[in-house]
Amino acid sequence: MSIPFYQVDAFTDQPFAGNPAGVCLLPGPKGDAWMQNVAAEMNLPETAFLLKQEDGYSLRWFAPQSEVPLCGHATLASAYVLWATGQLAASVEARFHTKSGLLTAVKNGDWIELNFPAEKATPCVAPVFLPEALGCDFVYVGRNRMDYLVEVASEEELKSLAPDMNLLMKVDTRGVIVTCRAKTKPYDFMSRFFCPLLGVPEDPVTGSSHCCLAPYWQQKLGKDEFAAFQASPRGGVLRVRVESGGRVAISGQAVVVLKAELFS
């Protein structure tokens, strides 16, 4: 039996920008090793595996080298595929049961809004190798359950980073978020995300990192809603809002660039 597979560019309205994700609509349960092999074969930043349940979908995310606990762009891509293929009506909320709890998505015109848990960082001492690995000075260093968070002084410094990926492989987290206040309008802040341990040296646009960035910039800027830009070579645009109850709303657009079938 063939299995439908889609490649979606998320957090963009143009193909070949934003962050590519695989979306696999499973007809029945599959083993972890099979899902990891598919993710490695596709070699995308993340591949999402969806399985219909009574109240929504089971959703798991695999990078080329390992499963991850939370992924924004592949969740956005999954919701987009469900609506685009008629699996869900446009007026119906997408509900995903994941290892990070229940995640939901709603369609708002051409935008999709995800409801994710906030992942606040707390100040910490940077690993001794981290300044050399990133090649910059830090304004702030923090950490949450998944990543380090580093603030740098300027947009120019953020965009010019050329990290030593071999050194970054030494971190004991999923990856490193680097951020700064934006000078370019209409954005409030910018970021980049490096995660070589997952087989993705720089992630093009990272929804889950904004679960950390939103509460951080809420404290810094004194507001709840933000326009954000992830300044990777592909680039991506996000709307972010801090919600009550420890949640973050992350909005983006998406476009399908490939439809295929798996025969394995």
Residues marked active site are found at 46
Separation in Å, CA 128 to CA 105, 134, 150, 166: 39, 11, 14, 14
SS3 80: helix
Tokens for 65, please give them: 């080298």
Measure CA of the first residue to CA of the last residue in the chain; give whole Å: 8
As a whole number of angstroms, the distance between CA 39 and CA 46 comes to: 7
- CA quadruple 32, 37, 42, 44: dihedral sign: positive
As a whole number of angstroms, the distance between CA 147 and CA 137 comes to: 18
Listed residue (106, 144, 137) closest to 122, CA to CA: 144
As a whole number of angstroms, the distance between CA 249 and CA 105 comes to: 9
Q: How many CB atoms lie within 10 A of CB 84?
A: 16
Which amino acid does the sequence have at 16? F
SS3 20: strand
What is the H or E stretch that residue 192 is in? strand 189-195
What is the H or E stretch that residue 237 is in? strand 236-243
